[in-house]
Amino acid sequence: MAFRFDISARDGRARAGVITTLRGDIRTPAFMPVGTAATVKAMLPESVRDTGADILLGNTYHLMLRPTAERIAALGGLHKFMNWPRPILTDSGGFQVMSLASLRKLTEEGVQFSSHIDGKRHMLSPERSMQIQRLLGSDIVMCFDECPALPADKSVIAASMELSMRWAQRSRDAFGDRPGHALFGIQQGGLEPDLRAESAEKLRAIGFDGYAIGGLAVGEGQAAMLAVLDYAPGQLPEDKPRYLMGVGKPDDIVGAVQRGVDMFDCVLPSRSGRTAQGWTARGPVNLRNARHRDDPRPLEEGCPCPACRGYSRAYLHHVIRANEIIGSMLLTWHNLSYYQRLMAGLRDAIGAGKLDSFVAAFHAEREKGDIAPL
């Protein structure tokens, strides 16, 4: 079965649809939980699926270092290795090399770096990144790219974008012809509309199965990000999935969906689940706070996740204070469940042509704040 994207409904600039892959459908707008080291932290994959996730993200940088892509390939690929039979998108490793590795040396060829685990030297290039993602068996492969931290001089952003576009062509060439597998290009250009336009044009000329909006959520703030999203999705092909990498908080996602983005990934719901933060329709809740100590109510009334069905805030507070693993397990489950419920709500609203009222209700509920202590 070929990789395909079908848009079933539009509401303003927002779209709802389905991405078809060899390993199953992805309902869009989609949120992809992050499974960095071949696990969504503190969750079994069948539980991740139960929250409503259609696709996971795996990190090339982490997996190439440990256990290595070659080892995963010999064991039958990443899907089998981590017991997740559904679609997997892998990033290119470029972003993590820049944020995690040390002794980096960036050249036209690629990036040399030392592993943050054992200090060993490695090389990532468009060709090596394509090879690794192929060894992993990724369904959606990302181009190898580079992006500077913001703020940066426009000339720096331009040079970086141009390098990424040359790497996009090399990624496309190295990816080859893999029926059923997709290669996504990544738009760069920082906060500069003309550089974004130039990047989009170069990517369209190469031709990809989907297009990511890269270089955002790197410290520019929500207003600046949404300002880019006012025009960037429109620079990309209308009939292909648009993926905003590394985003975000629930209100970031809502704003991006309104502006025509179809796919998201972020460590926030899972990371928050390990740091006592629960995400609800009324905003984030810090379960470590003593006000939950005697509260018999669930974290979020009506939430169907195991944390809310089986436990009180008092229990969650207790196990978090006692550093019990079940605290991370339950809170991660809840957070991923909340995110997937939000995505389902967005999809339904777009399908019904009622996105504006959904978004208004979303913001109204958040403004109420968390339920008062008993």
Closer residue to a second copy, CB minimum distance, 318 or 354: 318
Shortest approach of a second copy to residue 245 CB, angstroms?
Answer: 23
Residue found by looking up tokens 């975000």 in the block:
248
Site pattern 19..58 for a second copy (x: CB under 8 A): ------------------xxx-xxxxxx------------
Site pattern 116..155 for a second copy (x: CB under 8 A): ----------------------------------------
Pick out residues in 83-102 that bind a second copy (CB under 8 A): 83
> Known catalytic residue: 91?
yes
Q: Is there binding between residue 69 and a second copy (CB under 8 A)?
A: no
Which are the contacts of 310, defined by CB distance < 8 A and separation ≥ 6?
none
| Among positions 176, 180, 221, 296, the unique one binding a second copy when judged by CB under 8 A | 296
Which string of DSSP letters, residue by residue, matches 81-128?
Answer: HHT--S-EEE--SHHHHHHH-EEEEE-SS-EEEE-TTT--EEEE-HHH
**Residue from 54, 265, 295, 370 carrying the catalytic annotation:** 265
Binding range to a second copy, per CB under 8 A, among 235-243, 278-286, 319-327, 362-370: 319-327
Shortest approach of a second copy to residue 319 CB, angstroms?
Answer: 6
Q: What angle do CA 274, 347, 199 make, to 5 degrees?
A: 80
**Residue from 11, 54, 91, 139 carrying the catalytic annotation:** 91
- Rounded (10°) angle between helices 193-206 and 154-175: 10
Query: How far apart, in whole angstroms, are the C-alpha atoms of residue 138 and residue 175?
Result: 12
Closer residue to a second copy, CB minimum distance, 96 or 258: 96
Closer residue to a second copy, CB minimum distance, 47 or 171: 47
Burial degree of 342 (CB within 10 A; 0-12, 13-18, 19+): buried
| Among positions 129, 328, 335, 337, the unique one binding a second copy when judged by CB under 8 A | 328
Q: Is there binding between residue 310 and a second copy (CB under 8 A)?
A: yes
Edge-to-edge strand order for the sheet containing 24-28? 4-11, 14-21, 24-28
> Known catalytic residue: 139?
no
Shortest approach of a second copy to residue 250 CB, angstroms?
Answer: 24
CB 29 within 8 A of CB 341: no
Strand partners for 334: none
Binding range to a second copy, per CB under 8 A, among 65-73, 198-206, 233-241, 345-353: 65-73
Which string of DSSP letters, residue by residue, matches 247-259?
Answer: --SHHHHHHHHHT
Strand partners for 28: 17
CB-CB neighbours of 173 under 10 Å? 12
Binding range to a second copy, per CB under 8 A, among 22-30, 291-299, 343-351, 366-374: 291-299
Q: Is there binding between residue 249 and a second copy (CB under 8 A)?
A: no
- Of 93, 96, 97, the residue nearest 106 (C-alpha): 97
Note the residues at the interface with a second copy (CB under 8 A).
37-39, 41-46, 66-67, 71, 74-76, 81-83, 293-294, 296, 306, 310-312, 314-315, 317-319, 321-322, 324-326, 328-330
Residues taking part in catalysis = 91, 265
